[in-house]
Amino acid sequence: MHNHETELEAAERRIRSIPRCGAAKLAGMEKSFLELLEAIGEDPKREGLLRTPTRAARAFEFLTNGYRQSLEDVVNGAIFASDASEIVLVKDIELYSMCEHHLLPFIGRAHVAYIPDGKVIGLSKVARIVDLFARRLQIQEQLTTQIADALMRALHPSGVAVVIEAKHLCMMMRGVEKQNSVMKTSCLLGTFKEDARTRAEFLALLGQ
């Protein structure tokens, strides 16, 4: 049935399939955003802000939808038997997450590699695993490790490597760090950790 749907239709179907947080929690978030507006000295009744608590609550519901999905939901049906044994690299996956210390975004790219040991996963699912953990409150180091561990659990490959490069708005907007500093984290498991040649091949593929 999905053969003829456009990319936009596919994206909309995916969004509809993401579990909502429920009316009561959404109302609670709206109330919190209303109070936040008052606390910063704004007038929540002025025209531009009338629907802001509702919109902000909806946005937060979406940006934290990783809490309401499991790895099993995401990889469902997209793991295939394979005798491939070379590095599979998915490079430049767009990454949007929120730092758990300031509730401000950090944005960047994730590079995810694995070495199959009997099983491979659909490429789009690798990006969805990144989203599964990025759409929660995060610190970058933990996000990197969670993505790597999830691929280990789903595929039992010989090795997994995850590199994330991101800019943190909590540092940039508050002028804490140089405006263009990029934070880089990595997690290497299995052969990527144990074998220097595999690691070198991965870094060469990344162009680093």
Contact 198, 159 (CB under 8 A): yes
- Smallest gap from Cβ 183 to Zn ion, in A, equals 11
Distances (CA, A) of 107 to 41, 93, 104, 113, 205: 29, 11, 10, 20, 22
Q: Which of 9, 12, 101, 141 is catalytic?
A: 101
The reply to whether 183 sits near Zn ion by the rule CB under 5 A is no
The reply to whether 134 sits near Zn ion by the rule CB under 5 A is no
Select the residue interacting with Zn ion from 34, 95, 99, 113 (CB under 5 A). Answer: 99
The reply to whether 174 sits near Zn ion by the rule CB under 5 A is no
Is 179 a catalytic site residue?
no
Interface stretch with Zn ion, choices 7-15, 129-137, 164-172, 196-204 (CB under 5 A): 164-172
DSSP letters, 6-56, are -HHHHHHHHHHHSPP--HHHHHHHHHHHHHHHHHTT--TTSGGGTTHHHHH
Q: Where are the alpha helices (DSSP H) in 103-190?
A: 123-134, 140-155, 169-172
Between 99 and 154, name the residue whose CB sits nearer to Zn ion: 99
Q: In this chain, which residue has its C-beta nearest to Zn ion?
A: 170
Cα–Cα nearest to 187, from 156, 133, 146: 146
Is 156 a catalytic site residue?
no
Residue with tokens 């052969």: 191
What values do phi and psi take at 98, rounded to 5? -130, 130
Q: Binding residues for Zn ion, how many (CB under 5 A)?
A: 4
Q: Which of 35, 38, 94, 100 is catalytic?
A: 100
Is 101 a catalytic site residue?
yes
The reply to whether 13 sits near Zn ion by the rule CB under 5 A is no
Select the residue interacting with Zn ion from 68, 102, 119, 167 (CB under 5 A). Answer: 102
Interface stretch with Zn ion, choices 36-44, 68-76, 97-105, 188-196 (CB under 5 A): 97-105
Between 26 and 137, name the residue whose CB sits nearer to Zn ion: 137
Kindly state the tokens that stand for 160.
């997994």
Kindly state the tokens that stand for 135.
């759409």
What is the end-to-end Cα distance of the chain in Å, rounded?
42
Distances (CA, A) of 58 to 28, 45, 65, 107: 11, 19, 11, 20
Is 140 a catalytic site residue?
yes
The reply to whether 172 sits near Zn ion by the rule CB under 5 A is no
The reply to whether 167 sits near Zn ion by the rule CB under 5 A is no
Interacting residues toward Zn ion by CB under 5 A: 99, 101-102, 170
Catalytic residues: 99-102, 140, 168, 170
